[in-house]
Structure 1
């Protein structure tokens, strides 16, 4: 055995001074708890929107609660005089949503639950009117094929049956038909929508309330052409869209029955700027607008989390009554 392994550790030096580190103590959470609560509280999102045409501010305050399983939202409006109106409180989650109208003292409850694989149950109930709807959705041959059975509460007839498949859907429901001398009878009504690929476009047939709408959409990289006809009214219209580049697009719509038409020109300047100008012959109005911030996106994705739209409207009959309007939407994350 080596000599170094037999040596004992040296005795402590009495002349040296050793100060032990104080034991670590947990943070004080009893003195008000303000600091800990501030670090753990959910992020609050405040959104304010103003429309100069209505001169009304719309405010929304929201945050995630219950470990981000639900979202709590409070919204209200106020005018230039500071008067508050339309306060709404909502709690939404994956399976349960509650919307409460504070002024009307009315609540709308929406619930959905998956009772079995491929079988979903939904319920909607309005507290004040004591009305709602119950529905059941079942997968047939995979998620692309669904069968839905829904009924009003309280029930006023047979439930509505809907079959959904990749090419559209067909529904069968019972409706009231008015007869002479203020009499009615209940009949079965069939509604549906079908879509199919024809040549290089998509043909859509929509049948609802004994009216058939036929629509064909042809689209390539530069042009879109959409003719449509409604039966039995024989109303014919068409839309034409032409893209001149990645930033320029012209759209034109014409109703052949009324001879009304409208056109819109769009020009994008990067991602956050869009200029639009158009004319509507039905109301004899020309307009131009400028979007600062992505038009279809949310405020959180724009610079400074703010979206602004300026619009100039010029009536053809009275140019002197032209008006400049704007909308502003701003979001804060607190």
Structure 2
């Protein structure tokens, strides 16, 4: 995602294309199965959210998915994983082509996730925060049987409060540490990050999930940062008060989610490390990608079942990942 540094502090560009795909089509884009394509990169935590939500809700038939490669240049994410380096549905080599089709010479960052209108080839939205909420609410007619309630109405106010702090101090907090260009800005972001992680640890000591008895949007948003913490943020972004594996409640919680269908099976550690360590040449000019950390411990027992809770509530776990959408062998923790 895009951003800039001002006064030593990293400022994320939050002016996204906020067009929404809704049941009533009020922005000109009604929910229609097969019409849109979700473009993601496995390396990106913001895109990883949409991969998880789409899988948990069973939207594979309604909303196709395209995967960008883990690295990109200053211009755009690219489809270098596909034959000929071209997305097989959109027929474009660069995601920027879909942005420019909607807004010629689009001046902001070419970001993932993005949803593209296939008939016109135009990006509809890259508003990652609203995107997953709309998949839960506006796309409900196309959810699989047994799809969980990830944004249940009675808990929305509490979920919104929790994800607000998670975004500011954790999801974006690690970036504010990593891209700070002054000691003071870095230390302020570092302190806020670990104060928030301490708050989350205390919250999760005696409850299995962040809000209520089931997995919600809040857990998905925290998970995609936690799963990258030791592999990237601890060293690359200098978030080094403690590793995730040294924070007992958060480590057990993260393993619990990782071992839940729809979470760990979406995570590509190889692409994640390649993205951060190769693309961020201002932080890692050698572009050397570290071999560690050890990943097998993600599959060790977590003991969180003792806290109760029902991962999918009255719903069921998703089935196996589709063969064409599986994380490549050797790229996960298995």
- The answer, yes or no, to whether TM exceeds 0.5 is no
TM-score (norm 1): 0.24
Rg: which structure is higher? 1
Higher strand share: 1
Q: TM-score, normalization: structure 2? A: 0.24
